[in-house]
Amino acid sequence: MITTEFLTHIHLFSFPPHLCLSLTEPDCGRKQKLAEIHQALISDPVDIETLRRAAASKGGLLTDELRRKVWPKLLSINVFELPHKPGRDVRKNHKDYNQVVLDVRRSMKRFPKGMPAAERAVLQEQLIDIILEVLKGNPQLHYYQGYHDVAVSLLLVVGERMAIAMLDTLSNFHLRDFMDPTMDRTKHILNYLMPILEQVDTELHDFMIRAEVGTIFALSWLITWFGHVLSEFKHTLRLYDFFLASHPLMPIYLAATIVLHREKEVKQTECDMAMVHHLLSRIPQDLPYELLIGQAQDLFDKYPPSLLAKRAALQSRKSLSISTFQAFQRSTLHQRPDSVLQRLTKAHGSDTSRHGLEAALPRDRGQLWGRGNRMVKMAVWGLSATLGAAVFAVAQTAMDWGPEVLLQLF
């Protein structure tokens, strides 16, 4: 049958193993970290503190395979109860539809270099769908240009259905302030930047005040978690590990460390708004990310938002992301490991009516392919529905990234 043929094809295209993002790390440290992460994942309840530490510490979550397992835990998402793949009507009657399509269709740089155009086109259509799906489910949220940069970073790692779940949670918590009808709350968050600089380097701070540079140079850093400005996807992923495990204000602390890191350059620039904005908004691509992440964490510990709020007359209660963060963190504390979740999900609902398709992270391979069959049938429908080679191409890429993603693509 076609389905098995399709499977065979996928098998034939077996690509190199998962991307390793921390080749610089000594192997033993890496092995130890892998073991720790696995142990944390199977603990009951899941050892979320260890996972957070691992995501923030050197090398982050190491591989995309681990990200697919740890990211949902960091956001308290049950991978066995993922949202459905969006239907066709997701594109109907949404006020942000045109803007989303416009931004996604021209967001080519976000996709891996060398990805065939047809493959990218399929992912772009998925990207439109997942964004609109989340927006439709949350009428209080408003699309902003840059939201698509966050969504694509998730999509490329975890696939369509888990990306919807993650984006939904992030939108209601970490990104919440950016999704108001206006950007007043976003400006408020940006206002934390200068007080941090003031604490560390008064001279630099005063120079920037004199230049009247403002903070808009850091706007895209903040609202896309740097996804918009970094050309290497591995760097974006490393930062996403960090931010997913951190306080919603952490991107501002990282922004501060980047400015501080370039302190000499800044001070040597003409003290002029345009010149300083120009310099800072163009982010060097060879930043020492591990170092900066560590520094951002230190700055956060030393000058927490509450302290800055007092000193700088910033009112943290204005920020929804900040005010809901504690509750969000509490919600992550009592998660069951996937093995238990899977059992519970099965026992709880053979009524697939609610969650429909099967889980995204089956326990073993045999089961994976068994379950995969229905997905593959859908894939074949996809093939006949004009996408053809493009869908197939995506399937190949997904195999490159791991079978879990393949399941979620369809």
Give the interface with another protein as residue ranges (CB under 8 A). Answer: 99, 102-103, 106-109, 142, 144-146, 148, 181-184, 186-188, 190-191, 193-194, 209-210, 212-217, 219-220, 223-224, 228, 270-275, 277-278, 281
Return the number of the residue (274 or 307) whose C-beta is nearest another protein.
Answer: 274
Return the number of the residue (50 or 191) whose C-beta is nearest another protein.
Answer: 191
Grouping H, G, I as helix, E, B as strand and the rest as coil, residue 20 is strand
Return the number of the residue (78 or 215) whose C-beta is nearest another protein.
Answer: 215
- Cα(246)–Cα(321) distance, rounded to whole angstroms? 12
Q: Are 409 and 394 in contact (CB under 8 A)?
A: yes
Helices and strands, counts by H and E, the chain: 25, 0
Return the number of the residue (7 or 183) whose C-beta is nearest another protein.
Answer: 183
Q: What is the DSSP letter of 63?
A: B
Q: Are 249 and 192 in contact (CB under 8 A)?
A: yes
| Least distance between another protein and beta carbon 280 (Å) | 11
| Least distance between another protein and beta carbon 170 (Å) | 17
Q: Count the Cβ atoms, other than its own, within 10 Å of residue 10.
A: 19
Q: Are 83 and 360 in contact (CB under 8 A)?
A: no
| Least distance between another protein and beta carbon 46 (Å) | 35
Return the number of the residue (44 or 212) whose C-beta is nearest another protein.
Answer: 212
Q: Are 394 and 122 in contact (CB under 8 A)?
A: yes
| Least distance between another protein and beta carbon 315 (Å) | 11
- Cα(128)–Cα(125) distance, rounded to whole angstroms? 5
Q: Are 170 and 232 in contact (CB under 8 A)?
A: no
**DSSP-assigned beta bridge partners for residue 20:** 63
Return the number of the residue (219 or 409) whose C-beta is nearest another protein.
Answer: 219
| Least distance between another protein and beta carbon 151 (Å) | 13
Rg (CA), the chain: 22
| Least distance between another protein and beta carbon 195 (Å) | 8
Query: How buried is 353 (Cβ within 10 angstroms: 0-12 exposed, 13-18 middle, 19+ buried)?
Result: exposed
Return the number of the residue (107 or 297) whose C-beta is nearest another protein.
Answer: 107
Return the number of the residue (125 or 180) whose C-beta is nearest another protein.
Answer: 180
| Least distance between another protein and beta carbon 294 (Å) | 25
**DSSP-assigned beta bridge partners for residue 63:** 20
- Cα(160)–Cα(166) distance, rounded to whole angstroms? 10
Tokens (6 digits) for 274:
């345009």
| Least distance between another protein and beta carbon 145 (Å) | 4
